[in-house]
Chains A and B, each alone.
Chain A
Amino acid sequence: MSLEFLNAFKFMKKDSFLHNLDPRTKLVFAVIYTISALLFKQIILLLLILLSLIPLILVGKLFKQWIKSIRSLAFLMLFIIILNTLFLSLSFAIAMIIRICVMVSAFSIFFLTVDPNDLALSLISMRIPFEIAFAFSLAFRFVPTIAIEAQNILDAQQSRGYEMQKKGLISQIKNLFPLLIPLIICSIRRAFNVAEALESRAFGSNKERTYYYTIKYTLKDWLFTIYLLCFLILLIIVRINFTIMPEILKWGLPV
């Protein structure tokens, strides 16, 4: 068992077009792509939406991480194929797989390119109360830390001779207990530490806060948001006028 797949959602500081965008733009991007994936259940259209993500992934230098995030879906894909083929159709199964890939890719790009600190600032600028924004960014910030800790616990248990690599679904579930109990205890302990640290810094004493760093919606953010909105409007138009669209867009497997 390896928790390496969690790296596919871990923020990495890079100098790219996507990394330099405002976090709000990237949130809009993730939401718009999720909505557009939910608009259709035709293979070709969903595939086109997925393909439109690839240039962005390449521009953001995130190809390897994106592949990892898609690979982590392998079991889910298998499950979707088997169940949908048995009870509905293979065509629908493939469409659902592409839909999930689009949604996971969009949020993977979001998590990979947004600094947790910037996320809190962006949420505050969207008039979300500071406490909620801080809790959200803290949760987001601690995902990689907990992943590293889980990996350490895993290594520690293996060094004690516990067989974590056992195959089989039941064995894998059983294997989780020696990992989860220390992980939960460590997380609770850390939560207490964080709470004490926050209290010692008088968290919440002042309603009017000032920030060391500020975020700005620049021209390229506006341009990218306009592109995203145009993309969504185009897809909504296609959805509304779907009956008069070319046959190729409606193509699906006969089975």
Chain B
Amino acid sequence: MSILKVLKIRFVIFLIQISILILTINLFDYKYYLNLLFFPKPSNTTEEQIVIIKWLANYILYKDWNDLFFMYTIWLPISIIPVLIYNNYKRAYSMNFLTFFFPNFFLYAFLGNYYRPYFNANFLNLFIKTIILGITIILFSIGLSLALKAIRRSKPELQRDDLHMMAELIRSKCPQCGTEFESRPKICYNCNTDLTIKSGDKFIDTV
């Protein structure tokens, strides 16, 4: 299995994207302050669960414009990876959607399960922010994929010209009856002349 084939596996791309996300967020030491103290802690919620919720919030939530800019500078370069690996914009944006969906899904599911008061009070506010970030990532990946496709399109056109040239080169004509062929046949279907005899005057090339 070649490296490109392995890279095209969705799970592998997902792991690469998430690993880069975790590395960069930790490198820049970005922290989103989740105001959980203002809400009563549910009796069955443990400290570990709160730590996980706060950890997940660092990867997707933002407070002000600076945070939003930071989030874009982290998420948008990450969303380029599937665009470069897949030639198809649908696959690229669906992959980015998947990578963006899972941290968000887990954050909201854990908030809903383990910190219901905060979830009830802030869900709409947080969700609008998530939607804005998500739509930007998807639009960015679609736009970039289409742009790359447009750049790559020039290459097949060149190949098509080459094919036309080759077709012209192999076109031939029977020296006996003058029937034209799109190939180099062994025998003329019209007059049964053997066209394989390599004498210059027997086989006429049209090109």
Contact = CB atoms under 8 A, between A and B. Distances in A.
Contact of A85 (B11, B52, B106): B106
23 contacts: A74-B11, A82-B105, A85-B105, A85-B106, A85-B109, A86-B109, A86-B112, A86-B113, A89-B113, A90-B106, A90-B110, A167-B90, A254-B46, A254-B48, A254-B49, A254-B52, A255-B48, A255-B49, A255-B52, A255-B106, A255-B110, A255-B113, A255-B114
Interface of B: 11, 46, 48-49, 52, 90, 105-106, 109-110, 112-114
Contacts of A74: 11
Contacts of A90: 106, 110
Given A86-B112, A255-B48, 10 more contacts: A82-B105, A85-B105, A85-B109, A90-B110, A254-B46, A254-B49, A254-B52, A255-B49, A255-B106, A255-B110
A89 B52 CA distance: 13
B180 to A, nearest CB: 31
Decide if the interface of chain B is mainly helix, strand, loop or mixed. Answer: helix
Interface string A167-180: 10000000000000
Interface residues of A, number: 9
Contacts of B112: 86
Decide if the interface of chain A is mainly helix, strand, loop or mixed. Answer: helix
Most chain A CB neighbours (cut-off 10 Å) among B11, B46, B109: B109
A167 to B, nearest CB: 7
Interface in A240-255: 254-255
Nearest to A82: B105
B117 to A, nearest CB: 18
Interface string A53-92: 0000000000000000000001000000010011001100
- Rank and list the top 3 A-B pairs by shortest CB-CB distance, nearest first: A254-B48, A85-B109, A254-B49
Nearest to B46: A254
A90 to B, nearest CB: 7
B101 to A, nearest CB: 10
Contacts of A254: 46, 48-49, 52
A167 B90 CA distance: 10
B149 to A, nearest CB: 18
Nearest to B101: A82
A90 B106 CA distance: 9
Nearest to A89: B113
Nearest to A254: B48
